[in-house]
Amino acid sequence: SQTIHQWPATLVQPVGSPLSLECTVEGTSNPNLYWYRQAAGRGLQLLFYSVGIGQISSEVPQNLSASRPQDRQFILSSKKLLLSDSGFYLCAWSVQVGSNEQFFGPGTRLTVL
Amino acid sequence: GQQVMQIPQYQHVQEGEDFTTYCNSSTTLSNIQWYKQRPGGHPVFLIQLVKSGEVKKQKRLTFQFGEAKKNSSLHITATQTTDVGTYFCAGTIYNFNKFYFGSGTKLNVKP
């Protein structure tokens, strides 16, 4: 069966510090991968998605970046965090053919102080 | 800009009452999905609608996709406290890899 892992679960970082959030998927090959951000009490904002290794589509211009160094690994990064980067970061995957139901990871709750 | 609008933002109901949330898109959608997020949790897939005018049911939940594929609704009959959570719609437009999420409707059910 497929599983998706995200870490860390919670993170408190000072403004201006770097960020690296990791997401890995097990039990499937060549998945679509997604990073979303959810502000408190709000909807999901698509940040990045990837259809293959090294292929990243950016949806929102900001100080975040994403990379996919391996087929089932998706990394969200920032060189300098802003207060507005606080939120709940969710990684998700879907298959590329057939039903494109998205499976979400447990999320990382980031607080930038 | 926002591709998929969802209303209402909040809904408080008494247990046993019905509940409906609506999604609207300015652009024809290829398909639409519905997700439920429990407080403190992550979104969980409920269903996907693909065809114009499609209606699907899951026990007390009824999902509809409009004829023009620009709107969708989720209706819950006789709500229970276990229905508490935020319900999101998510649509794709041409690019099946990219999802536009509605802002969600937060449902609170009073026992």
What's B39's domain CATH number? 2.60.40.10
Contact list, B33 vs chain A (CB under 8 Å) = 100-102
Contact list, B96 vs chain A (CB under 8 Å) = 100
B12/chain A closest Cα distance in angstroms: 15
Euclidean distance between CA atoms A35 and A40, whole angstroms: 16
Contact list, A42 vs chain B (CB under 8 Å) = 103-104
Domains parsed from chain A with CATH numbers = 3-112 (2.60.40.10)
Kindly report, residue by residue over A55-101, the tens digit of the pLDDT. 998 887 678 999 999 999 999 999 999 999 999 999 999 987 656 78
Measured between CB atoms, which of B98, B99, B103 is closest to A42? Answer: B103
Number of domains chain B is built from: 1
The pLDDT, as a whole number, for residue A97 is 61
- Percent of chain A's residues with pLDDT above 70: 96
B91 touches chain A (CB under 8 A): no
B109, B88 Cβ separation under 8 angstroms: no
Contacts 24+ apart (CB under 8 A), A73-76: A73/A22, A73/A23, A73/A24, A73/A25, A74/A22, A74/A23, A74/A24, A74/A25, A74/A33, A74/A34, A74/A35, A74/A50, A75/A20, A75/A21, A75/A22, A75/A23, A76/A19, A76/A20, A76/A21, A76/A23, A76/A35, A76/A47, A76/A48
Amino acid symbol at B89: C
